Amino acid sequence: MTDFNPTRRSFLKATAAASGAVAAGPLLPDAEAAGAGDAGKEAAPATVNVLLRVNGADHQLLLDPRTTVLDALRERLHLTGSKKGCDQGQCGACTVIINGRRMVSCLTLAVMHDGDSITTIEGLGTPANLHPMQAAFVKHDGYQCGYCTPGQICSAVAMLDEIRSGIPSHVTEDLNAAPQATVVEFRERMSGNICRCGAYSNIIDAISEVNGRPA
Amino acid sequence: MRSFTYERAQSPYEAAAAAGRVRGAKFVAGGTNLIDLMKLEIETPQHLIDVNGLALDKIEPTAEGGLRIGALVRNTDLAADVRVRRDYPVLSRALVAGATGQLRNMATTAGNLLQRTRCPYFYDTNQPCNKRAPGTGCGAIGGYNRQHAIVGVSDTCIATHPSDMAVAMRVLDAGVETVKSDGTTRSIPIADFHKLPGNTPNVETALTGGELITAVTLPKPVGGAQSYRKVRDRASFAFALVSAATIMQRDGSGRVALGGVAHKPWRVEAAEGEMRRGAKAVTERLLADARTTEQNAFKVPLVERTLAAAITEART
């Protein structure tokens, strides 16, 4: 017996690294980031230097300006936790936290975030040391297929911060009072994260538990 | 997405000058609408001018007792501003009725005004659309048009403006401050900012080539009971079928602007003289020139009922 026991994640990482090594040339424009089928039709676009501070580590990248934050994270930094669902800002699977605010990383270009701090699901916790929201999703079965989960968790963590900092929502009754951390508020505020498996009630249970914990 | 060149603007004047100078240039701020349209190649800018670094992200009092909202103030921050919540609650309500938490964290005040329609024929490059490709025709007229405009329509376009925020800005008589590419500045009343489709549905605003929005101003608060009622196909994250921004005063007078019914936020000041006579009278004036289709005729009674609910709520 060998101890060859690949997980899907380690396999993806290994192949991504290998293809990067083969393709790497000096200052070659990033063809994979350039999008669908345009290669050869147009002159190579001028690349732009971008500093992204991702999960506490600085990454200086030379990017085609068309590269979204999501593609930079997944294809260049190989942080594949953030998922590409709709690529149109409608599903929330790509939600990350940029400078403390949750955003859909598919609808913003990496060049627009020079010097910004980005937290992805990989930066919230580790398998050995889960973020309380990650642990609560496990405990309450807040997923089935898991594809929307990284976005749900990043969104939920930042969403609770938004309530704490007094940002109102559509269901906040009194605009001049602090919004309350209720299930009704959670449901409205999480409407940008779609779960096709329909784990919503368990997701709300997980968020409620984290919210109820002493800070 | 088509290829483009990219620059970070250093000042509003420089940004406007660059946009006037470089062919096919567009500003990008939040990007929540533009990047989406660029992926679909509905928008194909050759040059992007990133204005996010400009210091236009403050909300400041004006000499007239109102507020000046910087063009880059994010929707979340505008909705949460304590002065806006207290003195212009219809604006906070409209903002939080739109999009999602993630999108409101990204979207800017100026960008919200400049949103393109979500007409499905505009979004589908295989379909005719006079707004996307002038002269190709309109797929929505005679097509699927349940969500489309019922007033101010033309034979070339029946698209609606998708913004909630702009409807509140209209009822509050906001002004849009800009700098043109020649360096001159002006303030455009919100009533004149968005255009009706006419024969040029591709021309959506009063902005000239390269003109940059720097701020939106609100006059001093008018008080009253303010509300934003939005009727949509699901409870959250959907565009309005009909919406009503209302400001009702104790003496029975009031203002109303509608969303979801026209190519721009829809307000008819003369109709507001009917406010004491109730929602039916106001709606008859507001929608006097309505031109509905079989699929969207329901919006006429829906406007009346939405307004009736707002009036009732304000009086209780």
Name the nearest CA neighbour of B133 among B118, B142, B122.
B122
Interface of B with A in 236-255 (CB under 8 A): 236-237
> Quick one: average pLDDT of B296-303?
98
Q: What is the 3-state secondary structure (H, E, C) of chain A?
A: CCCCCCCHHHHHHHHHHHHHHHHCCCCCCCHHHHCCCCCCCCCCCCCEEEEEEECCEEEEEEECCCCEHHHHHHHHCCCCCCCCCCCCCCCCCCEEEECCEEEEHHHCEHHHHCCCEEECHHHHCECCECCHHHHHHHHHCCCCCCCCHHHHHHHHHHHHHHHHCCCCCCCCCCCCCCCCCCHHHHHHHCCCCCCCCCCHHHHHHHHHHHHHCCC
Rg (CA), chain B: 19
Q: What is the mean pLDDT of residues B291-300?
A: 98
Q: Which two tokens stand for residue B37?
A: 């349209």
What confidence tens digit (pLDDT) does each residue in A26-66 have? 333 444 444 444 444 555 668 999 999 999 999 999 999 99
Q: Please tell me the distance from the alpha carbon of residue A135 to that of residue A127, in angstroms, as a whole number.
A: 10
Close Cβ partners of A150 (under 8 Å, ≥ 6 residues apart):
A81, A82, A83, A93, A95, A120, A121
Q: What is the pLDDT of residue A214?
A: 47
pLDDT of residue B208: 96
| Whole-number pLDDT of residue B316 | 80
C-alpha dist (Å) from residue B213 to B205, B217, B225: 11, 11, 30
* Tokens read off for B26: 């567009």
Would you say B229 and B242 are in contact if contact means Cβ atoms under 8 Å apart?
Answer: no
The Cα A119–Cα A154 span in angstroms is 8
Residues of A in contact with B50 (CB under 8 A): 111-112
In the stretch 189-208 of chain A, residues with CB closer than 8 A to chain B read 189-192
User: Tens digit of pLDDT for each residue in B181-222?
Assistant: 999 999 999 999 999 999 999 999 999 999 999 999 999 999
Distance from CA of A135 to the nearest CA of B (A): 23
> For residue B97, is pLDDT > 90?
yes
Question: Measured between CB atoms, does A131 come within 8 Å of chain B?
Answer: no
Determine whether B215 is exposed, middle or buried from the number of CB atoms within 10 Å of its CB (0-12, 13-18, 19+).
buried
Find where tokens 């203002």 sit. Answer: B255
Lowest mean pLDDT among B56-60, B268-272, B310-314: B310-314
Contacts of B3 in chain A (CB under 8 A): 34, 38, 42-43, 45, 64, 66
Place of tokens 């790497």: A24
Minimal CA–CA distance to B314: which of B196, B226, B255? Answer: B226
For the stretch A162-191, pLDDT in tens is 999 999 999 999 999 999 999 999 999 999
Q: Is the confidence at residue A204, as pLDDT, over 70?
A: yes
pLDDT for the residue numbered B229: 98
Q: Is residue B32 pLDDT above 60, yes or no? A: yes
Work out the average pLDDT over B99-114: 98
Mean pLDDT of the region B150-171: 98
pLDDT at A19 over 50: no
Of the pLDDT bands very low, low, confident and very high (cuts 50, 70, 90), residue B50 is: very high
pLDDT of residue B315: 86
H/E stretch holding B74:
none
Residue type, A61: L
pLDDT band at B88 (very low <50, low <70, confident <90, very high): very high
* Rounded Cα distance, A27 and B254, in Å: 62
Cβ contacts of A66 on chain B, cutoff 8 Å: 1, 3-4
Q: Rounded mean pLDDT of A115-124?
A: 98
Cβ atoms within 10 Å, residue A25: 7
What's the mean per-residue pLDDT of chain A?
A: 87
The reply to whether residue B31 touches residue A112, judged by beta carbons under 8 angstroms, is yes
Instruction: Give the mean model confidence (pLDDT) for residues B146-169.
Output: 98
CB A166 to CB B80 under 8 A?
Answer: yes
Of A68, A103, A170, the CB nearest to B236: A170
Strand order in the sheet with B5-8: B5-8, B47-50, B25-28
Mean pLDDT calculated for residue range A191-211: 97
Cβ-defined contacts of B19-26 (< 8 Å, 24+): B19/B49, B19/B181, B19/B209, B19/B210, B19/B211, B19/B212, B20/B180, B20/B181, B20/B182, B20/B209, B20/B210, B21/B181, B21/B210, B22/B46, B22/B47, B22/B49, B23/B47, B25/B49, B25/B210
The reply to whether A73 touches chain B by the CB within 8 Å rule is: no
Q: What is the reported pLDDT for A12?
A: 55
What are the structure tokens assigned to B103, written together?
């999108």
The ipTM, to two decimals, is 0.97
What amino acid occupies position A23?
Answer: A
SS3 assignment, position B103: helix
Q: How many CA atoms lie within 13 A of A182 on its CB side?
A: 11
pLDDT at A207 over 80: yes
For chain A, give the percent of residues with pLDDT over 70: 78
Please indicate if any CB of chain B lies within 8 Å of the CB of A7. Answer: no
Closest residue of chain B to A113, computed from CA coordinates:
B52
Q: Which residues of A touch B165 (CB under 8 A)?
A: none
Fill in the amino acid letter for A180: Q
What pLDDT sits at residue A10? 60
Distance CA B39, CA A9 (A): 28
Give the per-residue pLDDT at B279: 98
Query: DSSP state, B138?
Result: B
| Contact criterion met (CB below 8 Å) for B49 and B26 | yes
Q: Please check whether residue A150 touches B, CB under 8 A.
A: no
CB B265 within 8 A of CB B113: no
Q: Mean per-residue pLDDT for A135-155?
A: 98
Please give the Cα distance from B216 to B34 (Å, whole number).
Answer: 20
* Confidence class for position A152, pLDDT limits 50, 70, 90: very high
Nearest-angstrom CA–CA distance, B50 and B216: 19
Backbone angles phi, psi at A112, to 5 degrees: -80, 0
Task: Search chain A and give the residue with CA nearest B230.
Answer: A170
Strand segments, DSSP code E, in B104-210 are: 175-179, 185-189
Maximum Cα interatomic distance, chain A, rounded to a whole number of Å:
67
pLDDT of A25 strictly over 70: no
Residue with tokens 């906070």: B92
